Structure 1
């Protein structure tokens, strides 16, 4: 293993670490259904607070769709909106899922994802291997921002995970593709790996 021998616990991000992710696909899909230029779609995506509110569970699916229709604006039905929103979710590589099962036997392993209900439903029903309906079997515990009403990189979300699992920060390794999330974890003394390439966890754990 490439990590420090002191590590007993793993905290994994989902998108960009385990799940193949391409926000560009969703931005293009929103451009297609709204008629707006992609650069304008991107600007509104980055600056609008509704996306963060949805990840924190402060608005429900109905409220999120209303927000999207107002933000871009579009008249698309729910199915078309959801398809555009889910376009960024590109797949769950089997070799990563197999790696997670092996790591679960060696460490206390949890998932901590900034996500939302529409995405999670799509992952559970469309991207997992046949017969599976949850990521739960791959971890000792799973945490999703919209259910916790908290979001990375805020300290409180990391503190909750550490407390509920009796993790010591210096014995815990956090793997995430977002630099702000990595910085948030480091402030609490958590060891980190910034995942900058899609297969980094495969290489890191010599899978």
Structure 2
């Protein structure tokens, strides 16, 4: 019997428009998403570089782009967060232990909070026993250490815990440690369909 649910954030609760960021970066002169941009993103997601270092790294790749233009392009990925998902989460929080575990960076979280407002994001965060962002804890999915960290810190039983994420590599990582998983298919499924999946 499942008593705990760990959720991803992007494309589970907040909708993402990944193409919007790619398109805006292309407008700023990016020809391809290079290994250097990938490296910068991973370092930023684990809090190993500052926002200034991250933007500076992008400016080296896109020398004609201003800091403001890069920030705008980077944040273009963040779309809407439908209220019905928050209401569903609030209902779940009365019945299960809930955690948020997101690979994300400080710029995206600050932008989400500014766009949604303190009332909304406070209501969202309060649904969880604990919120974990990769840039704050220095670990990211799908690495086993981040899942083990939650198991140890909160005395979780993987066989009684469900992990929900839209990336298969992340759900595979959790499944390898014994978690129940739902690899949600974006555009075809919605987190509010949870009870129809017969996994709880």
Report the TM-score when normalising by structure 2: 0.90
For 1:26, the equivalent position in structure 2 comes to 21
Partner Cα distance (2:146, 2:164) in 1: 15
Partner Cα distance (1:148, 1:117) in 2: 12
| 1:35 and 2:29 are equivalent in the alignment | yes
Q: Which runs of 5+ in 2 are unaligned?
A: none
Aligned with residue 131 of structure 1, among 114, 119, 123: 119
1:74 to 1:11, Cα distance in 2 relative to 1, 3 A: farther
Report the TM-score when normalising by structure 1: 0.87
| 1:55 and 2:45 are equivalent in the alignment | yes
Partner Cα distance (2:108, 2:37) in 1: 20
Partner Cα distance (2:35, 2:77) in 1: 13
Report if aligned partners of 2:40, 2:54 keep a CA contact under 8 Å in 1: yes
Alpha-carbon RMSD: 1.8
Equivalent position SS for 1:138: coil
Runs of 4+ residues over 2 Å off in structure 1: 45-48, 71-75, 130-135, 197-200
Partner Cα distance (1:169, 1:73) in 2: 47
Partner Cα distance (1:15, 1:169) in 2: 22
| 1:7 and 2:2 are equivalent in the alignment | yes
Partner Cα distance (1:66, 1:164) in 2: 35
Partner Cα distance (1:19, 1:46) in 2: 27
Q: State the aligned residue count.
A: 194
Query: How far did residue 67 of structure 1 move?
Result: 1.1
Partner Cα distance (1:169, 1:72) in 2: 44
Equivalent position SS for 1:59: coil
